[in-house]
């Protein structure tokens, strides 16, 4: 024990004079210390940490070499003898850097995939817009042709009702119809106001014509106007394609 104590004094002199100054403002000095060795072992997670310098106790404080624990905590220790400074830095973790590189590569791959998907979405949206434009154009053309056919078919439908004109609008789900009749002509020829029987026949034939020529799955809604009386609204009508029923002012024809 005496031999170890003397050796510790020499070691302690070196440590206090250079490696472990008390502070950056401490003056350089030498001090005799008595160190006690008690076969001190350092365990990390149950495993003993090996060292070439045995830990010792001075005035109740246990001292262990800094380098001894550096590897345990993944630190790099360097000694600057010129400035009497100990430098402690984190060690590079190859596994961590590799994992970061893999994540960066995966992020770039996903970004590229997102860009490709966005380009594909843009292309599909353009195709859809072109299709809708073409489809709307086709529907408009079909309805325009249908309107011409209806006016040709029903222009001279009934002498009493005078010249009948029809306007239509809508889409592939519903066709909206406006029928204009000459109520004044009817009164002149019959002496009575237009009765519903004459208009029921007209509405039924117009709706059935639309179903036959355009689409039997389309709903038809419309209004009958008296053009001789400032386009007074006479009746509303409807053709329900699901029920295959036709209504005039809510009453089935």
pTM flag (> 0.85): no
Low-confidence ranges of the chain (pLDDT < 70): 1-27, 93-96, 132-136, 187-192
User: For 69, what's the count of Cα atoms within 13 Å in the CB-facing half-sphere?
Assistant: 11
State the burial class of residue 131 (Cβ atoms within 10 Å of its Cβ: 0-12, 13-18, 19+).
exposed
Residue 57 host element (H or E)? strand 56-58
Q: What is the CATH number of domain 142-252?
A: 3.30.70
Tell me if residue 156 falls in helix, strand or coil: coil
- Span 85-107, pLDDT tens digits: 999 988 776 666 778 888 989 99
- Span 25-65, pLDDT tens digits: 556 778 888 999 999 999 988 889 888 888 999 999 999 98
Q: Where are the domains of the chain?
A: 2-90, 142-252
SS3 content of the chain, % helix, strand, coil (to 5): 45, 25, 30
pLDDT score, position 3: 41
Q: Do β-strands 174-181 and 251-252 pair in parallel, antiparallel, or remain unpaired? A: unpaired
């Amino acid at each position: 024990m005496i031999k170890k104590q003397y050796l510790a004094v020499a070691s302690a002199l070196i440590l206090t004079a250079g490696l472990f100054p008390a502070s950056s403002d401490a003056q350089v000095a030498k001090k005799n210390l008595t160190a006690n060795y008690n076969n001190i072992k350092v365990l990390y997670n149950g495993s003993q940490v090996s060292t070439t310098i045995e830990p010792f106790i001075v005035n109740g404080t246990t001292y262990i070499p800094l380098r001894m624990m550096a590897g345990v905590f993944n630190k790099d220790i360097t000694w600057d003898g010129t400035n009497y400074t100990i430098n402690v830095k984190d060690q590079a973790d190859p596994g961590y850097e590799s994992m970061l590189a893999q994540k960066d590569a995966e992020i770039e791959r996903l970004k590229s995939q997102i860009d490709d998907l966005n380009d594909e979405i843009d292309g599909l949206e353009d195709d859809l817009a072109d299709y809708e434009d073409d489809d709307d154009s086709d529907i408009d053309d079909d309805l325009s042709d249908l309107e011409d056919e209806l006016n040709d078919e029903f222009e001279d439908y009934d002498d009493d009702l005078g010249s009948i004109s029809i306007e239509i609008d809508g889409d592939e789900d519903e066709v909206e119809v406006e029928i204009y009749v000459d109520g004044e002509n009817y009164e002149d020829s019959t002496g009575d106001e237009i009765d519903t029987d004459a208009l029921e026949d007209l509405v039924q034939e117009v709706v059935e014509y639309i179903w036959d020529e355009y689409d039997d799955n389309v709903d038809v809604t419309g209004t009958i106007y008296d053009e001789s009386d400032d386009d007074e609204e006479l009746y509303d009508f409807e053709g329900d394609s699901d029920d295959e029923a036709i209504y005039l002012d809510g009453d089935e024809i």
